[in-house]
Structure 1
Amino acid sequence: MADHEPLILAFCCHYCAYAAADLAGSMRLQYPNNVRVLKLPCTGKLEVNFVLAAFERGVDGVIVAGCLEGGCHFLEGNLRARRRVERARELLGEIGLEPERVEMFNLSSAEGPRFAQIVNEMTTRLTLLGPSPLRSACGAEAGVREMTRQAEKMLESDRAGEANDRCQP
């Protein structure tokens, strides 16, 4: 399975983790280009079905990256996200997928090197696990692109000031 390059979808908080991913790129840090970053106004916006839908669309793993604990701009969004990630991991185990295909991290906007390290470690883990059994032989990249487009449209209303309301459980 060593020749398999896993496809990873990273749900990143706008305020911290997305900025860390951007910093990693600006610093020209080395990490595989197999990660697709989807910016959320807050990881508290993440629903369990977003994670499950990512696997249905062919990703091999999911990273959820939010603000540092105690530093969420929406107070407890990252804590809600952590509970939802744990639920998604439980559901994956129930359907026969490895729960370690999903992981949550907390980052500050200054942790570009840590973001690169997370992507590298997740890539190594997923390479050892092998492709997701749900991943089709073709179309995984197209499925992730379509999911990203749909999520961006859905989140468009959050930019109009509804982000705080939508971060509620």
Structure 2
Amino acid sequence: MSDFEPKLVAFCCYYCAYSAADLAGSMRLQYPANIRIVELPCSGKTDVRVVLEAFEKGADGVYVAGCLEGDCHFLKGNIMAKRRIKEAKKLLDEIGIDGERLEMFNLSGSMGPRFAEVAQEMTERIRKLGPSPLNPAYKSGQEAAAGKEADGNE
């Protein structure tokens, strides 16, 4: 899997993290192109079901980026998101996907460089973990490996 390029989904709060992503782009900061950003009105709107669906649809990693703690435009949305992500990480561990594939970050709208760092950090983390067990590429790779073993061609 040396040519593995992970697919990541970033659920970003409109007021802070999405603004940080926009700033990173305006500053022409380089970060991996494998990140798909989903804009949310607040990180508190992050639903565990939607996070799990991102994995089901082939994401190798997911992160939620919200406002700095104590600075949420909706008062406690980012605190609720943090609690949901913590529970979702436990659930991912229980079902064999690895909770390390999911993370929560807090950013302000002026943190464009930090947004780019987070994108790079998550991409590197997921590269080390390899493809998600739910990723179709992982499944076809497993089937190909099983076929080689059955043929005796390793």
Determine if contact 1:2/1:128 at 8 Å carries over to the other structure. no
What is the TM-score with the length of structure 1 in the denominator? Answer: 0.80
Q: Letter of the aligned partner of 1:15 in structure 2?
A: Y
Q: Letter of the aligned partner of 1:75 in structure 2?
A: L
Determine if contact 1:10/1:62 at 8 Å carries over to the other structure. yes
2:136 alignment partner, SS class: coil
Q: Which residue of 1 aligns with 2:81?
A: 81
Q: Letter of the aligned partner of 1:95 in structure 2?
A: I
1:71 alignment partner, SS class: coil
Q: Which runs of structure 1 show a deviation greater than 6 angstroms over 4 or more consecutive aligned residues?
A: none
Q: Letter of the aligned partner of 1:80 in structure 2?
A: M
> Residues 61-96 of structure 1, C-alpha deviation per residue, up to 9 Å, x if partnerless?
001000000100100000000000001101000001
What is the TM-score with the length of structure 2 in the denominator? Answer: 0.87
Distance 1:30 1:44 in 2: 28
Distance 1:127 1:116 in 2: 17
1:42 to 2:42 alignment: yes
Q: Cα RMSD over matched residues?
A: 1.1
Q: Letter of the aligned partner of 1:81 in structure 2?
A: A
Runs of at least 5 residues in structure 2 that lack an aligned partner in the other structure: 139-154
Determine if contact 1:55/1:134 at 8 Å carries over to the other structure. yes
Q: Which residue of 2 aligns with 1:162?
A: none
The Cα of 1:98 is off from its aligned counterpart by 1.2
The Cα of 1:30 is off from its aligned counterpart by 1.0
**Aligned residue runs from structure 1 range 103-142, under 5 A:** 103-137=103-137
1:86 alignment partner, SS class: helix
Distance 2:36 2:14 in 1: 15
The Cα of 1:97 is off from its aligned counterpart by 1.2
Q: Which residue of 2 aligns with 1:102?
A: 102
- Equivalent pairs counted in the alignment come to 138
Determine if contact 2:131/2:137 at 8 Å carries over to the other structure. no
Q: Which residue of 2 aligns with 1:91?
A: 91
The Cα of 1:137 is off from its aligned counterpart by 2.9
Bigger radius of gyration, 1 or 2? 2
